[in-house]
Amino acid sequence: MKMLITGGMGFIGAALTRHLVEAGHTVRIFDDVSRGDPHRLADLADRIDYIRGDIRNPQEVLEATSGCQMVWHLAAVNGTKNFYAVPDTVIDVGIGGTLNVLQAAFAHQLQRLVFVSSSEVYGDAQQIPTPETHPLVIADPTNPRFSYAGSKIAGELLCLHMGPARGLETVIVRPHNIYGPDMGGDHVIPQLIEKMMTAASESDADDVSIPIEGTGKETRAFCYIDDCVRGLALAGMEGEAGTIYHLGTEDEVTIDQLNELLAGALELKLKTIPSERRTGSPIRRCPSTQKLRTLGYKPQVPLAEGLAKTIAWHKKRHQ
């Protein structure tokens, strides 16, 4: 099958591209590389079709979609720092880009669109593990933190209700705290690794201190990138049209526990310096993955193993 992946040079998009190419699909990538990086797929350059373009440009999206049967829509401005810094761009890309992808899919009569949403749509979820039926929450529309969540909620509504009216199957996938090598520096695990490595390089001892956001008692359930793309492909290819699937693990850990694992792998004695948690940042986050498990999904990479692989990539980067 010929597929278009928007945001295909991004962290998840590149891993999904590799997975689909290895499965025998013909893949075209559409990305402006403002955040993505072509090096992630340099070894597949002769096996993929790459179009550089802006998801906000309807004509470019229309041309990129030509000849495809399916689109995976991942293009977005991610990273908590960006939610606060450029909320206008986050919304423009998130909502305007999704409308462009839908209109292109209608024009070319595509069979299916997979919209990659986010766990951010729940705000501070009141049920853990969180099911897909949990209410979506924008706690404070004046807080730029919710620019991303708002754009994802709008994108889900657009796909779920515009698609079927035009004969387009749509599937929604909400990833939860995906991590792994080369994911960029705007996320908690690479930030913590870099802080620890920098502190260690500046100290003559193995005892290091780093600042953290919040108390350390906040929780997340981290999912390694290999498990992510297996689950994403499963939901996108075999999931029921009009359905929402969680993607992640149910292995909830505190940030303190995460720091202990990272420090242990780096052979450091760590002291953390808590600070105020940003308004809008959830206290707990852990999805129920029961619905995706009915399709055969089962995470295979334990957190300690995934962190070791991620740390190895960061060490190599610093050599």
DSSP labels, 77-122: --SHHHHHH-HHHHHIIIIIHHHHHHHHHHHTT-SEEEEE--GGGG
Q: How much is the pLDDT for 294?
A: 98
Q: What is the CATH number of domain 2-178+223-247?
A: 3.40.50.720
Q: How much is the pLDDT for 79?
A: 85
Half-sphere exposure of 314 (CA within 13 A, CB side): 24
Give CATH superfamily name and number for 181-220+251-283+301-318: UDP-galactose 4-epimerase, domain 1 (3.90.25.10)
Work out the burial of residue 23: count CB atoms within 10 Å of its CB; fewer than 13 is exposed, 13-18 middle, 19 or more buried. exposed
Half-sphere exposure of 64 (CA within 13 A, CB side): 32
pLDDT digits (tens, 9 = 90+) for 187-204: 999 999 999 999 999 887
Q: How much is the pLDDT for 85?
A: 94
**Other residues' Cβ atoms within 10 Å of the Cβ of residue 91:** 17
Q: How much is the pLDDT for 122?
A: 97
Helix or strand or coil: residue 143?
Answer: coil
Say which residues have a Cβ less than 8 Å from residue 195's Cβ, sequence separation at least 6. Answer: 210, 211
Rounded distance between C-alpha atoms, residue 14 and residue 72, angstroms: 12
Asked, colleague to colleague, whether 2-178+223-247 and 181-220+251-283+301-318 share their fold, the answer is no
* Ranges under pLDDT 70 in the chain: none
Contact status, residue 62 vs residue 4, Cβ threshold 8 Å:
no
Q: Which residues pair with 244 in a beta bridge?
A: 172
CA 119 to chain centre: 9
Which residue ranges make up each domain of the chain? 2-178+223-247, 181-220+251-283+301-318
Rounded distance between C-alpha atoms, residue 103 and residue 110, angstroms: 10
Q: How much is the pLDDT for 204?
A: 79
From residue 254, alpha-carbon distances to 216, 231, 251 in Å are 7, 24, 10
